[in-house]
Structures are given as C-alpha cells and as structure tokens.
Amino acid sequence: MPVYLIATLDTKGREAAFVRDRLRQLGMDVVLVDGGSSGEPFVAADLSREQVFAAAGCPLPDRQHPGDRGTAVAAAAEGTRLLIQQAHAQGRVSGVLGLGGSAGTTIATAAMRALPIGVPKLMVCTLASGQVRPWVGDKDILMLNSVVDLVGLNRISRPVLDQAARAMAGLVSNPALASADAPGQERPLVAATMFGVTTPCVSAARPLLEEAGYEVLIFHATGNGGQAMESLIAEGLIAGVLDLTTTELADEQVGGILSAGPNRLTAAGRRGIPQVISVGALDMVNFGPADSVPHQFRDRKFHRHNPTVTLMRTTPEENHALGCELGAKAAAASGPSCILLPARGVSAIDATGQPFDDPQARSRLFQGIRETAGRVPVEELDCHINDRAFAEAAAGRLIQMLRLHTGSES
C-alpha cells in the first residue's frame, strides 16, 4: 500500500519531490497529491489538482484570476480528504505525509483527521511549534517543525525533510504493536474523563472497571481530550462512559481556554450507550498565565494552579446554568444514564478549607441539574468527589448499567 504525500506543488513542489524520492529510496510506494490551485506545479502529481477539485465538486480556480484563496484552500482540503478517505476504505493507504505552511497544513491535515487512529500521519509544517489544535483536532497526527520555511532545499530543510521521510518509512515498515487481547476477545472499552483535581476519583474507579472486564481509556479534560472522547464514542468504539469530569462545559459556557465545543456530553446520548455523569471540576474555568485572563474577569476569584495555568471560580449563577445544560443533555440521551453528585465538593480545591469551597455554588449547580434532568436518576452522595466511596459508587453504577445493557446480567 502506498504512502500518500500531500503538498501544494506550485509552492512546495521541489521539497515534495525530494521527500517522494527519499521515500522511494527507503522502499516506499508513493502517491503524490497536488493541493495547489494557482501557479504551475514544479513536479507532476499522481493525483492532480484537477482531480482534487473535481472530488470536491468545485472547478479549479483560473490560474490567471485565482480569486479567493481561502475558498480554493477549503475546496482543496475537502477534495483531498474525500480522495484519501476513499482510498483508505479500499485498503490502499499505509500512511499520509504532508508538507506545508498554513494552507498546505490545512489541506493535508483535513485528510489525516478523516482517517482512523493508528494510520501513520505526519505533517511537516512551519506551524508545528505553536498552537496546533486546529490542525491536529482529536487524531494521532505527528507534527514536525520545519524550523525554516519550506522554500528550497538547504542545510536546514534537507535534514528535516529527510527525517520526515525516514519517520514515515519506519512507521509503515515496522508492524504496529499487537493488542494485548486475543483477536476477537478484546475487552469492551469504557471512556473516563479526568483532570488533575479529580485524579484520585478516576484513579480509584479505573481498577474496579478493569477487574469487571473492561478496558479503560482515560481522557484528560483539556478540551482536546473531551473532543477526542466524543469522536471515539460517535465512531462506535466505546461501550460505556464514566464522565466524571465535565469541566469543559464551564470553559465553553464562560469563555475559558479548554472548551471541547458545544457538542460535549452528547455523543454517548446519541449512541445510546450507558453513561454515569458527574460534575467534576465545574467549579473552575481555565486560563493561561495570570496576565492572560480577560479584563472583564478582573474582579473574580482566582487560584494560581501553576505559572502557566490560572483557574477562575465559577459563580452560583454560572453553576446554575451549567447544571441546566448538563441535566438537559443527560435527559436527551437515548440510552441509560445517571447523574451522581458529590455533596462535599466537585474538585480538589472545592472542599472545606480549600480556595474554591462554595456550598452556595454547588447548591445552584445541583438545582439546575434537577430542574432539567427529567427522568434521568440524580443521586446526591454525602462525600467529596475524590473520596473512594464516590469512585466506588460511580464505577459500580456503570458496571451494573453496562451488564444490563448487554444482557449479561439480569
């Protein structure tokens, strides 16, 4: 199966030809894809720009009058995604390697994000040393910093591009690690959400689920983590969810930096799989260093988690709104759900004597949930979220729901 190499061959053609030839020297079959739209390509493509734009259902922009470059890049990204997705469905993709600046990265990573986890994906780009979430999304994309702009071959770009070719060849040539479970006997997957301030809870619940026969995937609730979990649930890979740390809802609603988007806490409900939901770390909204906090929040209560993370306490009013959202999303689920509430605090710093301890805010949060949860069971436990009793209760509820859902226990 070939490696698909994606680049805009009018601006990155010389560099793409170098990587293509290097991959071939390493024994790889290569399909070169042209995502360009204006100037003449430096090298002939195996999948031409005309084929790329045709796949997207768009005419190729006139080279003399290129028009809106943003529209052209979007069309090239869509066409490339569809072509490579189709090739993968036919068993003809061993890996994807992209070269580019912002446009080339947008085009190539659109195709990468359309492929399953485990397919080698490597992007060499000028943006890899910065915030790469828009391009990586929730997939296993390797980002390699080009150090210099990809314009010509020189003593910096040549070894970087060579490294990319060798890395892709290594990923493709060396077999992936086999599953610890025998084929056909894989344990059902359970997804769990965790934050630093809810680690004791999830760490205590995980072995209980494993002892019951489940493999546990833990997602760090940093926006990207919740987004990745939602995607895997939507793909049908997850049997049940221990969604104890729903803090990303607060960042989305209030304006923090760790939002997972408006669709957080919806995929399990749509798939109809069992979910145990709690309110972990809804006492906080996340920002970067203290001087990065937006000015409109200057009078709020803060806690310096570390030099690069500043936490802001959510207000009673925000907690009520968050409770209403959480309850409504749980109520919309087509499968079994329950909500567990820790009466003595929702995070490590929301406890007696801790900086975010606020019984009124917790009360308003729980009130909002009860107002909107409908028929979903809501149980308040007289313990803190990080108490072992809470972890055992949450794991136990999910195990029971999973067994009833699959019919393995009456």
Encode pLDDT of 250-286 as tens digits: 999 999 999 999 999 999 999 999 999 999 999 999 9
pLDDT digits (tens, 9 = 90+) for 288-317: 999 999 999 999 999 998 888 999 999 999
Give the pLDDT confidence score for residue 410 in this predicted structure.
35
Q: Give mean pLDDT, residues 123-137.
A: 86
Give the pLDDT confidence score for residue 182 in this predicted structure.
56
pLDDT digits (tens, 9 = 90+) for 13-60: 999 999 999 999 999 999 999 998 877 888 999 999 999 999 999 887
| CA separation for the pair 262, 242 (Å, rounded) | 19
Encoded tokens for 405: 């859902």
Encoded tokens for 182: 């025998």
Encoded tokens for 306: 């570390």
- Contact status, residue 78 vs residue 108, Cβ threshold 8 Å: no
Q: Give mean pLDDT, residues 228-236.
A: 92
Q: Which pTM does this prediction carry?
A: 0.77
Phi, psi at 310, each rounded to 5°: -115, 125
Of the candidates 119, 118, 93, the residue with the CA atom closest to the CA atom of residue 2: 93
Residue 116 CA from chain centroid, whole number: 13
| CA separation for the pair 272, 31 (Å, rounded) | 40
Of the candidates 223, 295, 206, 301, the residue with the CA atom closest to the CA atom of residue 264: 223
Residue 131 clears pLDDT 90, i.e. is over it:
no
Residue 409 clears pLDDT 60, i.e. is over it:
no
- Contact status, residue 112 vs residue 133, Cβ threshold 8 Å: no
Residue 65 clears pLDDT 60, i.e. is over it:
no
CA torsion angle for 228, 161, 129, 156 (degrees, to 10)?
170
Residue 239 clears pLDDT 80, i.e. is over it:
yes
Residue 187 clears pLDDT 80, i.e. is over it:
yes
